Amino acid sequence: MTVVLVDETLAIDSNTMRTRALDGAARAFVCLAEAMALRGCTVVALTRTPLAVTTRGVRWEPLAEDWAEGGPRTGAAPLVEQARLVIAFRNPQLLGVVREAGTRVLYALGPGGYLNAPPCREALDRYRPRVVLPGEVARYACPLEDVTVIAPGVDLAFHPRSSSEDAPPPVAITTTHPSQGLAPLLDLWRTQVHRELPEARLHIYSALLHGALHGASVDAEIATLAEKVLELGDAGVSVKEPRPATRMAEAFRDARVHLYPGHPRDLVCWSLAETQACGVPGVALTRGAAGERLTNGETGMLVPDFDALCNVGVAILKEDSFWRSLHEGTRVSRKYPRWDQVAELFEALA
């Protein structure tokens, strides 16, 4: 089966994921392409990569700059004039990049309101794709009715290893976008967490904040948060630069709890799934798709507000038995499938 995956925003190939940190959607693109190749498909990935290269069974090709002009033939390399399955990430206008396709699939990973825009509606009406969403929360937020839910996979780098014998030190991590709940979390860290557990540490994984602390130009909100982080250094707060998947997984496994404020429009919760797969209990606000990524009371806790987020976080940081019960729960959770399992579900759409 010839499969074409296409995205207009990503300048990536298989090597990119292993040399620098990528966001969840970019990793999903690479992992799905590689998983389908491992299952025996002929896979071509069209992205903003500057050079054609074949790695890990996937042929990576530059997407033509003028792909949107002149109809469905534009942008298709000779190898992919036809395909059994075409998977367009996010933008339905990409569905026409391959002229002849047995099945066209739109993988809509974000809030679906944009699909009501006239260019998207026109493309959906023209190509009549199968629309795949990442979860039930995304289905509820999508304006389309005929959709299929396929939960995204989690990179094998994050998948469970042997259960930890000893509880990690009292290190909490947070991966939230700085503008989506970090400020109240920092305030409560000083007034609640640090006061009750002075030895606790909070590691903030954020490329934006890391850049701000190293001279990058950022907006006023991020600059203010960077200053607050510096002020909280004596309370155990520090910023870490995100890493490629293998190294990120190592850092996650050294943590004791993941504090996840989330956001109502966060319909995948990529890093929450990854820390859960690593065996790290999570504490998340009941926002977005957090409940689809952790199991309340078994692999972590869903809480109503920031006070509860910090109170439960402190309990996990302090109580070995509480940590262990949630850690063991992550070992049997089925909320973070492997990408080969996801690839099989996509193949079944063809």
The tens-digit pLDDT sequence of the chain (350 residues) is 999 999 999 899 989 989 999 999 999 999 999 999 999 999 999 999 999 999 999 999 999 877 765 444 444 444 578 999 999 999 999 999 998 999 999 999 988 899 999 999 999 999 999 999 999 999 999 999 999 999 999 999 998 776 667 899 999 999 989 999 999 999 999 999 999 999 999 999 999 999 999 999 999 999 999 999 999 999 999 999 999 999 999 999 999 999 999 999 999 999 999 999 999 999 999 999 999 999 999 999 999 999 999 999 999 999 999 999 999 999 888 888 999 999 999 999 99
Sign of the dihedral defined by the CA atoms of residues 282, 283, 286, 287, in that order: negative
Amino acid at 205: Y
**DSSP state letters, 88-143:** EES-GGGGGSSSEEEEEEEE--S-GGGGGSHHHHHHHHHH--EEEESSHHHHHH-S
Residue type, 138: A
In the chain the domains, ranked by start, together with CATH numbers, are 2-151+337-347 (3.40.50.2000), 157-332 (3.40.50.2000)
Let me know: does 153 contact 342? Beta carbons within 8 Å.
yes
The reported pTM is: 0.93
Rounded to whole angstroms, how far apart are CA atoms 19 and 240? 17
